[in-house]
Chain A
Amino acid sequence: MNAQDKVLEAKDIVISFGGLKALNGINLYLKRNEILGLIGPNGSGKTTFFNVVSGLYTPDSGSVIFNSETITGKTPQAIASLGVIRTFQTSRLWNELSILDNLLLGTFMQKKPGIASTLFTYKKVKEDFKRKGEEALALLSIFNPELVRTRSRRAKELALVDRRRVEITRAILTKPQILLLDEPAAGMDPAETRQLMEDISKIKQEKKELSIIIIEHDMAVISTIAERVVVFNFGKKIAEGLFSEISANKEVREAYLGKEHKHAGN
């Protein structure tokens, strides 16, 4: 595999918080148009890793490379503009804004303020809104037509499941190259989870340039959707490979010993 196939690579990422090493020399890569699963017990550093990649944290040492460009040390907004988009465990939506407004902001991502255009070519702004808005609603209707109908509701009024759907839609509307999904199925029941995974697979198939890393605790999800899996424990990568390989791995089982998890066909 040559460097071209790796769309994202993390080299020796180390980051500490007050003496505690949250990430202790992480090395991993993401292939183009791949869905990589990232699993591990709570506190193993998965979300911290996402925070480093998305630029919210700067690692003490190590680098993150996106398409041969080093992105460590860039601001989160710069990294997002390059095409690395993430979701949050708590589904950070803009709570007072409506569903449609949340999505619109997703489509708008790289625009400059354009005060002059706002004030003097307002009609064009409105047309812009209409175009982007229709695009957003079309995508949202794939997830849930009901949300399209009630698009003026404030995000804070939504149920958890719908919050996740809106967040994922918003993320996809940015036309990302890399999507970092942080426990997208948390809080969903099996039927909703299955539906979500189907939707994600479909989108990944349609958009050939999209690569995804997905953090999940639900092993059913990981076994179905992830093409390759990386396992974290205490800030280190302890295993990597196909789901069948890592689920047989002794160290991985020990890391999860005593933890309840849904296992496909157990």
Chain B
Amino acid sequence: MLTLFIQLKNSIMLGCQYSLIAIGFTLFFGMLNVVVFCHGGFYIFAAFAATALITAFRFSSSPFFLSIVTLLLLFTAMSITGALGVLVERTTIRPFRRSPSVIPILSTIGVGTIIEQLLKLFYPQGSNPQVFPEVIRYGKIVFGAFFLTRSEIIIIGITGIIFILMYFFINKTKIGLQVVAISQDWEAAGMMGINLDRMVSITFFLGAALAAVAGFMNGIYYTVFRYDMGSIAGIKGFSAAVVGGLGSVFGAVLGGFLMAFVETFSAAYIPGGSAIRDVFSFLVVLLFLIFRPSGILGERKAEKV
């Protein structure tokens, strides 16, 4: 029973990460019909950025478990990542707006490779595993044999807050509604006077920032990270978005947790499972792509003859 709770907790922790990454994919896809393969690159870049900033600028440990300075530095790293997202969009995605959709896939794979390799080659000791600085002082809440650490609670909490904010953003704010409008009909939205380019940039900033948060969570939770973890995380996040339905934010969340559960439980309960748990993820997305590309929640689009 205890192991069940632990696996459940692991799944939720993993699901938080996957969901945040998946939301980015789904936003980009919904808006531009592109699969942004370098999203994993944003994720891992953020981890590096945060590590660099915090290591450079944090001077003393604070009395609080999470200091204001650290928080500011994390926001800075998040913003830098968001800016990177905008840069990538402007240079390697916007030029291909009218090209066949496979071209941005290729270009973003290229960009993802470039980001990873630049980190590996030009960050000090970049090819080695990095240690994420401790930003949350250790503490835990105990429930009998089961316990939750402070980090875990904060991660789950932050993810929950982000989901709520996303909900309000998409459904209640002007910008959010514009994003939805563009996703549904690009041309009509343009004709309504929506500044398409600006909205795209905002979406990319947002998506990359969310990936950054996922990157921080990964650093906080697993402590060690490496430059090449980006692509795997990206692919998993993408799978989650496909399963949930590309274009649906709720689907991304659903898909993220679903994938996390499948992965965690298959690793725990199927013999030899942990070695091929990635295979499960890929098989799932493979099946969805072939048999239900619209995902669980997505919509189908018919071709006009």
Q: What residues of chain A lie closer than 8 Å to B305, measured between beta carbons?
A: 47, 51, 56-57
Q: How many angstroms between the C-alpha atoms of A57 and B304 in the bound complex?
A: 11
Could you tell me which residues of chain A, from 20 to 67, have a CB within 8 Å of some CB in chain B?
A: 47, 51, 56-57
Q: What band does the interface of chain B fall in when counting residues whose beta carbon is under 8 Å from A?
A: under 10
Per-residue CB contact flags for chain B residues 63-76 toward chain A (1 = under 8 Å, else 0) read: 00000000000000
Interchain nearest-CB distance for A84 vs B (Å): 16
Shortest Cβ distance from B302 into A: residue:
A17
Q: How many angstroms between the C-alpha atoms of A183 and B114 in the bound complex?
A: 50
Shortest Cβ distance from A90 into B: residue:
B305
Q: How many angstroms between the C-alpha atoms of A139 and B305 in the bound complex?
A: 28
Interchain nearest-CB distance for A100 vs B (Å): 25
Interchain nearest-CB distance for B26 vs A (Å): 24
Could you tell me which residues of chain B, from 291 to 305, have a CB within 8 Å of some CB in chain A?
A: 305
Q: What residues of chain B lie closer than 8 Å to A57, measured between beta carbons?
A: 305
Q: Which residues of B are at the interface with A, using a C-beta cutoff of 8 A? A: 305
Shortest Cβ distance from A57 into B: residue:
B305
Interchain nearest-CB distance for A249 vs B (Å): 30
Shortest Cβ distance from A18 into B: residue:
B302
Q: How many angstroms between the C-alpha atoms of A47 and B305 in the bound complex?
A: 9
Shortest Cβ distance from A89 into B: residue:
B305
Interchain nearest-CB distance for B303 vs A (Å): 10
Q: How many angstroms between the C-alpha atoms of A56 and B305 in the bound complex?
A: 8
Per-residue CB contact flags for chain A residues 132-165 toward chain B (1 = under 8 Å, else 0) read: 0000000000000000000000000000000000
Interchain nearest-CB distance for A93 vs B (Å): 15
Q: How many angstroms between the C-alpha atoms of A51 and B305 in the bound complex?
A: 8
Q: How many angstroms between the C-alpha atoms of A53 and B171 in the bound complex?
A: 45
Q: What residues of chain B lie closer than 8 Å to A47, measured between beta carbons?
A: 305
Q: What residues of chain B lie closer than 8 Å to A51, measured between beta carbons?
A: 305
Interchain nearest-CB distance for A91 vs B (Å): 13
Shortest Cβ distance from A54 into B: residue:
B305
Q: How many angstroms between the C-alpha atoms of A57 and B305 in the bound complex?
A: 10
Could you tell me which residues of chain A, from 51 to 89, have a CB within 8 Å of some CB in chain B?
A: 51, 56-57
What 4 A-B pairs are tightest by C-beta distance, nearest first? Answer: A51-B305, A56-B305, A47-B305, A57-B305
4 contacts between A and B (CB under 8 A): A47-B305, A51-B305, A56-B305, A57-B305
Interchain nearest-CB distance for A83 vs B (Å): 21
Shortest Cβ distance from A47 into B: residue:
B305
Shortest Cβ distance from A48 into B: residue:
B305
Q: What residues of chain B lie closer than 8 Å to A56, measured between beta carbons?
A: 305
Interchain nearest-CB distance for A201 vs B (Å): 28
Interchain nearest-CB distance for B147 vs A (Å): 53
Q: How many angstroms between the C-alpha atoms of A51 and B302 in the bound complex?
A: 15
Interchain nearest-CB distance for A89 vs B (Å): 9
Interchain nearest-CB distance for A50 vs B (Å): 9
Interchain nearest-CB distance for B302 vs A (Å): 8
Q: How many angstroms between the C-alpha atoms of A37 and B305 in the bound complex?
A: 21
Interchain nearest-CB distance for B103 vs A (Å): 15
Shortest Cβ distance from A92 into B: residue:
B305
Interchain nearest-CB distance for B27 vs A (Å): 27
Q: How many angstroms between the C-alpha atoms of A71 and B260 in the bound complex?
A: 49
Q: How many angstroms between the C-alpha atoms of A22 and B305 in the bound complex?
A: 14
Interchain nearest-CB distance for A46 vs B (Å): 13
Could you tell me which residues of chain A, from 244 to 264, have a CB within 8 Å of some CB in chain B?
A: none
Q: How many angstroms between the C-alpha atoms of A209 and B277 in the bound complex?
A: 63
